[in-house]
């Protein structure tokens, strides 16, 4: 641990990689950590909030009022204002400013220019080269800000090797383009998770966790249920999370008449409780729809998949994120197609074959150890 005072800034909807970094810094006894969080545009509110830790102890926290009615350009000015205000309010010069997207990294560059922070690290959690927004103007501004922040940050942290490759092929940016470059994937706390042998788990439960969007493919699993229950009458599909697509999923459940086999838990606030709900399941699913997914296919590192691995679950996944083929090759699960027939067949295989399921659970844990947070962050010049 080199830096005395560290700022970590993110747009938030649920637990993400930056939360794990903050936890790591506090476990390592960082003298001062300021975590600033801004709500996403599709979150239930548009608040900004902060937490200040000193040597791992929370000493101050606060939040703004809800700015949901503010026009979008002013929302971003609000985020800049409160990011700067809290950094300046707690005084002195901060040694390192870590942001998880281009806009927040750009804010860090402004703060570096006025001497409020010394080093800016841009942690790129997703890469969307085209059509990030419906507006052509917004896409142009988004690309300019991300490129500028990438080239002027003191450190560029890419999430995956595929992200590095995608940027090289589509933007001409290479690790040599930056002042310093690191690959920092999504990590997990392997040691804190209680895992279950297949014989002790809920053997007929499939689980999904994540933000409910159409591209996540939960609707495909719902459509697969009538076929699944022909073989597994006591099947249960546990869905953890919330999101704008939830009303559509509720309507589909009613339309298909599959209410007895579906459990919507909502968001589970406690990471430990969420991990236990995952680990008790028999298998997990990540049915990304490729034609709708503009985030994952260019190298984003899906946190849900790392959670599945850490909980020792076989993973049924479409060939969209970079990690999908690695999972299949290591015996941690299976590549599926984004259609109900493929999903139904795979679910039946993995929820009824004890030997296959347990072998994948063992392989998942072995792979998860390579993404342990302590190992990942110890390698960074923090």
The residues spanned by each domain of the chain are 5-184, 191-370
Give the bridge partners for 239, in sequence order: 208, 264
Alpha-carbon distance 370 to 127, whole Å?
Answer: 23
SS3 192: helix
- Alpha-helix residue ranges (DSSP H) falling in 257-321: 271-279, 303-310
Cα–Cα separations (whole angstroms), residue 100 to 35, 47, 86, 180, 313: 12, 18, 18, 16, 28
In this predicted model, what pLDDT tens digit does every residue of 48-88 receive, in sequence order? 999 999 999 999 999 999 998 888 889 999 999 999 999 99
Query: 5-184 with 191-370: one CATH topology?
Result: yes
How confident is residue 271, by pLDDT bands cut at 50, 70 and 90?
A: confident
List, edge to edge, every strand of the sheet that includes 48-54.
57-63, 48-54, 32-39, 5-12, 94-99, 117-124, 155-158, 181-183
pTM to 2 decimal places:
0.78
Q: What is the pLDDT of residue 42?
A: 61
Q: Residue range 209-227: average pLDDT?
A: 95
CATH topology of domain 5-184: Rossmann fold (3.40.50)
Topology of the domain covering 191-370 = Rossmann fold (3.40.50)
Output the furthest CA–CA distance in the chain (Å, rounded): 65
Percent of the residues in the chain that have a pLDDT greater than 90, as a whole number: 69
- E strands within the chain? 5-12, 32-39, 48-54, 57-63, 94-99, 117-124, 155-158, 181-183, 202-209, 236-240, 262-266, 281-286, 315-318, 333-336
Q: Which residues contact 69 (CB under 8 A, 6 or more apart)?
A: none
**Pair of tokens at residue 56:** 């791992």
């Amino acid at each position: 641990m080199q830096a005395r005072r560290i700022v970590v800034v993110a747009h938030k909807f649920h637990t993400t990689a930056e939360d794990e970094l903050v936890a790591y810094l506090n476990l390592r006894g960082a003298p001062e950590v300021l975590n600033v969080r801004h709500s996403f545009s599709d979150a239930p509110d548009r608040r900004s909030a902060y937490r200040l830790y000193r040597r791992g102890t929370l000493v101050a926290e606060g939040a703004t009022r809800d700015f949901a009615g503010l026009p979008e350009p002013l929302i971003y000015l609000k985020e800049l204002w409160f990011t700067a205000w809290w950094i300046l309010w707690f005084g002195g010069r901060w040694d390192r400013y870590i942001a998880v997207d281009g806009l927040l990294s750009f804010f860090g560059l402004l703060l570096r220019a006025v001497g409020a922070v010394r080093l800016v690290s841009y942690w790129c959690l997703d890469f969307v080269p085209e059509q990030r927004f419906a507006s052509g103007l917004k896409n142009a501004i988004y690309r300019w800000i991300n490129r500028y922040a990438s080239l002027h940050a003191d450190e560029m942290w890419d999430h995956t090797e595929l992200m590095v490759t995608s940027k090289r092929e589509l933007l001409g940016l290479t690790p040599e383009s930056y002042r310093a470059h690191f690959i920092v994937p999504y990590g997990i706390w392997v040691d804190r998770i209680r895992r279950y042998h297949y014989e002790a788990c809920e053997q007929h439960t499939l689980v999904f966790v994540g933000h409910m969007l159409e591209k996540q493919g939960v609707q495909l699993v719902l459509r697969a249920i009538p076929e699944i229950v022909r073989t597994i009458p006591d099947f249960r599909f546990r869905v953890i999370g919330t999101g704008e697509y939830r009303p559509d999923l509720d309507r589909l459940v009613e339309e298909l008449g599959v209410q007895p086999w579906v459990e919507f838990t909502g968001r589970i606030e406690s990471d430990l409780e969420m991990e236990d709900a995952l680990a008790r399941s028999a298998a997990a699913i990540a049915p990304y729809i490729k034609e709708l997914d503009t985030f994952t296919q260019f190298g984003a590192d899906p946190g849900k998949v790392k959670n599945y691995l850490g909980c020792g679950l076989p993973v049924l996944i479409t060939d969209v994120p970079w990690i999908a083929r690695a999972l299949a090759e290591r015996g941690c699960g299976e590549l599926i197609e984004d259609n109900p027939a493929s999903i139904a067949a795979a679910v039946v295989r993995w929820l009824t074959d004890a030997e296959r399921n347990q072998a994948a659970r063992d392989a998942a844990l072995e792979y998860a150890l390579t993404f342990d947070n302590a190992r990942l962050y110890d390698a960074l010049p923090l």
